Copies of this chain bind each other. A is one copy, B any other.
Amino acid sequence: MGPKEIERRLDLFTQRLRDAGIKLTSQRMAIFRAIAASEQHPDAETLYRELKESCPSLSIDTVYRSLWLLAELGLVSTVGQRHEAVRFDVNLSRHHHFVCIRCGSIQDFYSPQLDRLDVAEEVQDFGAFISSQVEVRGICKKCETGTDQ
């Protein structure tokens, strides 16, 4: 990924914010630039430390707000959900997760198609394979219909 791609991402960010009538502050631009340039999947704290050098008055809160803003606009995705604690899963048979992005509920589902997957080979350059699981994100029935929580 070269500077071209970074610029393309930044242009997309600014365009979407303009379209949504959201202000383009210097803090946001700096945060966008940092995440657009990142090859990794940084957390807010990491970006904050990085940006603090060139923008010492920046607050961590602004980093969080800007990143969740991007997430809400669909311009970045997240690993993990908002307000989420670690969950423990006693289901040891092979299964996959349907995660509701609104209420955070997780439902197991089973799929012969997915169980047949063999990704161990595909990831061997990264390291030793232990397990694989599909995470499907969506809006659960309850949240869709507005039935309580």
Bound Cα distance from A129 to B128, whole angstroms: 31
Number of A interface residues at 8 Å Cβ cutoff, please give it: 66
**Known interface pairs A77-B89, A78-B89, A89-B41; A128-B114 also in contact (CB < 8 Å):** no
Bound Cα distance from A81 to B80, whole angstroms: 9
Counted per complex, copies of this chain come to: 2
Give me 10 other A-B pairs in contact (C-beta within 8 A), A40-B105, A96-B119, A129-B136 excluded: A35-B88, A43-B85, A67-B88, A77-B88, A77-B91, A98-B123, A109-B126, A117-B117, A123-B138, A133-B134
Contact of A84 among B86, B91, B134 (CB under 8 A): B86
Q: Is the interface of A mostly helix, strand, loop or mixed?
A: mixed
B127:A100 contact, CB within 8 angstroms: yes
Bound Cα distance from A100 to B123, whole angstroms: 11
Identify 27 residue pairs between A and B in the complex whose beta-carbon atoms are under 8 Å apart, listed by A's number: A38-B90, A43-B86, A45-B85, A67-B88, A75-B90, A75-B92, A76-B88, A77-B89, A77-B91, A77-B92, A78-B87, A78-B88, A79-B106, A96-B119, A98-B126, A100-B127, A101-B130, A109-B122, A111-B119, A113-B122, A119-B136, A123-B136, A126-B141, A128-B139, A131-B136, A131-B138, A132-B136
